[in-house]
Every structure is written in C-alpha cells, then in structure tokens.
Structure 1
C-alpha cells in the first residue's frame, strides 16, 4: 500500500467547499478532513454536514475514492494532515478591499492555530484567508512552525489573472506566458513587467519586433489583474473557483514534491531588504513547503513598488499588534 495523502480544510464556505471539490475531482487527496466554526451555530454545522454529504454523493464520478471526515470544530483532528488549507473568512467584509476582513480573519485564526500546533502538526499550511499576507504571518508567529511550512496563496491568483489578460491582448495561450504579480495580495501589488516573457522571449524584445501585437497599455493590463476579483465579486458577491484552484495547485505541488515555481506569499528574510513578514515573490514549492525564493533584477520603479507594497503589509500587522 502506498502513502495516504491527508488534507485538512478550515472553513467550508464558498472557497473552502470549492477547494474540497477540486481536491476530490483532481484526485489529490486520499483523506479529506473538513472543519467549520460549529459550536453554538446550527447553520454552520448544517452547512458543513451538507458539504460533506454532497462530496460523498459525487465520489462515484471522481477519479478514485476519498475518505471524507466531518470534524466539526475539533481542529486538533487535522494535526496528522500533510497539508491544511485555511479558507476561514467572511467575504462580504472584503467587498471594497481585501483589508476589510483584517480583524475578522485574524481573530478567527486565533481559534485554530494553537490547537493545531499543540496537537503536533508539522505539515504545510496553505492559507487563503485575506489579507493573505497578514494571516500567513500570523500563522507563522502563533504556531512557531518552520516558516517554510506556511504558504499564502498570495499573488498566485493575481498572476493567473495577469496571464489571462495578456492572453486576451495578444492571442497567445496563457500557459505559454510567464508573468508575475508581486507584493501583497491587495491593491498595492504590481506586475513585474521586466520579467514578462512569451515562450521565453522577453516582452521588451517582442514589442520592438511586433509593436502592433504587443503595443497594449501595460497599466490597463495590470489593472485587470489587480481588480479582476472585484469584477467577479460584483456579479456573484464572492470569488471561489480561481482562488480555490490556486490553493489546490499549491497543495498538489507539496504532496507531489513537484518543485513547482509560482508566486506565493512567503517569509521575507532580507529579500530586497525586507524581512520579518510574509508577501509574494516567486517560490519553489515542494514537499518541504517553500524550498527556495527566486529573485529578479527588478527595475528601480518595480523595487519602489515592492517596498511600498511591503509597507502596507507591515501597517496591517501593526494594526493587529503583530509588529
């Protein structure tokens, strides 16, 4: 018998439920442990039971069986998981900006970080809850876990939005485009234009060779990436598919030990002169979490944007007393 892959999910709202469904459909997990803030809340308890039942009803159509566990709010039961996904949030608070959930998500995280740490969890955290960089920093500080074992989805999703916008502007398949949004997962993120390439060919060179095809307005493309989530939110009052898939991609990179390169939120340890908090840079992700942080030769303007973005993360950490 092979190794059993165990994944836990905290929060089974819009995003958590889609994380669970995607993990099952992709055959990433063998065992799925799902939790919710159920104590004294019959609606949340019923919602969790409903999601577990619905997932179980779908198993006959999935690649292989997955053992499903309704853990209520017994967070310690997740301690044996390989990866825990934190999707505990309240999206309505982020209707205008991702800082809107700051106090809610960080207060909520305090309810489960210590019980899981005390139960001996030594796997990898993948955290989605916003503000993503702040919550990732909180998990690291309050759990005492190796910071490499905490991964925020960060700008993985925003980078996908950037590639989607570039694909529509140029007609090239987004899988052939290398383009990253960096910094916080919020309004201060920025596109690292100096590192964008299409099939390995730098954007600056393509602009000289094919000015009509690549003469798009970078500011407009960047704004699409920065605010794409609010287009989604405006129509259905949540975002769910893309961010859930971003989290599942990170889970797969960990449990398959892929050494996958993607922008995600990780601890700054002197990167570009910043340290002591989480934000997004390109990372190599494998079984040990973030195995390596990659650095570009950012332009002076991009460096300024990065430092401004970091300053915003640090301001939020000060607001909750974590800095």
Structure 2
C-alpha cells in the first residue's frame, strides 16, 4: 500500500492544529513538519508523537526541511504571523506572507515537488495565487481554504436560527476570504427549498444582514479573545486534505483559480469546486442572480487591488536583494 504523506510548512497555532487534526482523522500515514523556529518545531513534533497512541491509526510525525517535502502528496502552507491581524484585517498580513512564500515555494519546487498545495496563509486568495505563480503547477494542484471556513460560520449561524443540523441544508459563502464575500441567498437549499420557500414553509424570517455579519466577522470573535483562530481553520484545512487523499469528489467552497468561470481569468477566489485526488477537478459556476453577480464584481475589484500590491512587493524585494 502506498504511504500517504502530508507536509506542513509553518507549525504555529494553525499548522500544529492541522497536524493534530489530520492524525485524529486518521487520513495520513506520515506528517512532515517544517518551521524556522527549531525549538518550537521539536516541541510540537514530540507532543504530537506522544498523542499518536490515542489516534485511530498509526501516524508518524517527523521534522523536515523544505527540500525534504518533495515527495509529499500534499503540502499545507500555514506560514504567517497572527500578530499582524490585531487590527482585524487579514490584508495586514499581506507583505509578510508574500515575502515568506516567495522564499519558501522556489526551494520546495527546486527539490522536485509535484504534489498539491493547500494554502491557509492570509490573505488566502492572494497567497494561493502567488503559490500557483511561483510553483508553476497546473491550476488543479493549487488551492486554498478560501471561504470554506466562512461557509462553516454561515452554517453555524443558520443552524442557530433554524434549529436544524448543518447537514440539513447547503449554504456557501463566496468571494474573498475577508470582508469582500457574500451569501448567495438564491443558492441556499433547505431540503429542496430555497431560502424564500423555507421561510414561508417554516413561518420564519431570516435576518439576512445579521446572518451575513456573523459569517463574515465570526473569526474576529474568536481572535478577540485569544488572538488566534485554531480549531475551525485547522478543521477546514484537514477536510480539504482528507477530501483529496480519499478522492471524495466532494463539492467544497475553497479558493480556486478561475479560467473563464464567472467571466474571470487568472484569479483565485472562493467558490464551490469538486475536490478529489487530482485536487481541483471542476469549478462549479453558480447561476447567480443579477444582484449577486454585481456583488461578485465588487469582490473581483478588491482582489485585483491586492494582486497589484503583491506584485509591487515582490518586485521591490527582488530589487533590494
């Protein structure tokens, strides 16, 4: 049987929780940990191996440098500095994240990596795009968590409002993992009913602005109390890894490259996609209504502004080097 190997670059709050969650899911046989903080890396690796006895399957955690990740099936990029988010704006991480991946990705690719990148690092859509550009891998092999966690926050809010288990309905956030995302209410499905039909059938009325606010700003509730997010984003990343390794062909909202879908090209954004063993197997183009298409256009504008900022940073860094 082939060994399933996952690499994690950046073993901070999120990276360490991804490593633990993958072990508890029993979806990887070997997990390689890479971080610039050697003492932290040694401590996390030792702690994780102590926990293996309580995991469903045997998994080996090992310390690795970047070139040693070349044979991984999947590499999870979790580098970053959560301290940069203290103004409650993921875009504040832009410069640090761009410069880190500019150093990391070429070293991994030079070693011969040809697997799949799953990106967590913020701004998620932008950094996923940079990884794709720096790696030169096909569009199917680079994706980010994108609005997967935001969709979970939406489902959390809807579950609270309706009293239903989140598995009873389909609901996605689409757009940027950040302030420029929205709920395509026309696409929500409650057992075959859309949101309007469900409201009539159940005699309820969704407070749509409040639900939207909970989905978009939910992460800051978590951050404001402990200055990091861990469980939700780690669960999202681990779910993507599991979906790929198990070839689940599952539709998940994540950051993927558009190649004509939604009328856009060369842009990474959070939309539903079929995820399987080859990574992104198909981008799902939702039949948005006119209002939702206008909202999507606003998302695209915001993302393109950040893309220009990233290009400028990379060029400036090269000139300084």
Which TM-score band applies after superposition, normalised by the shorter structure? over 0.9
For 1:69, the equivalent position in structure 2 comes to: 62
1:299 and 2:289 are equivalent in the alignment: yes
For 1:10, the equivalent position in structure 2 comes to: 9
1:83 and 2:74 are equivalent in the alignment: yes
For 2:25, the equivalent position in structure 1 comes to: 26
Aligned to 1:201, the other structure's residue is in SS state coil
Gaps of 5+ in 1: 38-43
For 2:222, the equivalent position in structure 1 comes to: 232
In the alignment, the residues of structure 2 paired with residue 280 and residue 271 of structure 1 have an alpha-carbon distance, to the nearest angstrom, of 12
Q: Which sits farther off after the overlay, 58-67 or 184-193?
A: 58-67
For 2:170, the equivalent position in structure 1 comes to: 178
Q: Structure 1 residue 200: deviation in Å? A: 2.6
For 1:132, the equivalent position in structure 2 comes to: 124
Q: Structure 1 residue 210: deviation in Å? A: 2.5
1:252 and 2:242 are equivalent in the alignment: yes
Deviation digits for residues 102-135 of structure 1, max 9, x if unmatched?
A: 0101111112100111111111110000000000
Deviation digits for residues 162-184 of structure 1, max 9, x if unmatched?
A: 01100000111111120000011
For 2:213, the equivalent position in structure 1 comes to: 223
Deviation digits for residues 274-295 of structure 1, max 9, x if unmatched?
A: 1112111100000110000111
In the alignment, the residues of structure 2 paired with residue 11 and residue 108 of structure 1 have an alpha-carbon distance, to the nearest angstrom, of 10
Q: Structure 1 residue 296: deviation in Å? A: 1.6
1:198 and 2:190 are equivalent in the alignment: yes
For 1:157, the equivalent position in structure 2 comes to: 149
Deviation digits for residues 39-95 of structure 1, max 9, x if unmatched?
A: xxxxx2111100000001111111122122111xx2011110000000001112122
Contact 2:182–2:212 (Cα < 8 Å) also in 1: yes
In the alignment, the residues of structure 2 paired with residue 289 and residue 103 of structure 1 have an alpha-carbon distance, to the nearest angstrom, of 27
Coordinate RMSD, CA, aligned: 1.1
Contact 2:117–2:141 (Cα < 8 Å) also in 1: yes
TM-score between the two structures when normalised by the length of structure 1:
0.95
1:144 and 2:140 are equivalent in the alignment: no
For 1:41, the equivalent position in structure 2 comes to: none
Aligned pair partner of 1:52 in 32, 45, 48:
45
Gaps of 5+ in 2: 315-321
Q: Structure 1 residue 320: deviation in Å? A: 1.6
Aligned to 1:69, the other structure's residue is in SS state strand
Q: Structure 1 residue 305: deviation in Å? A: 0.9
For 2:269, the equivalent position in structure 1 comes to: 279
Q: Structure 1 residue 208: deviation in Å? A: 2.2
For 2:34, the equivalent position in structure 1 comes to: 35
Q: Structure 1 residue 299: deviation in Å? A: 1.2
**Residue correspondences, number:** 312
For 1:270, the equivalent position in structure 2 comes to: 260
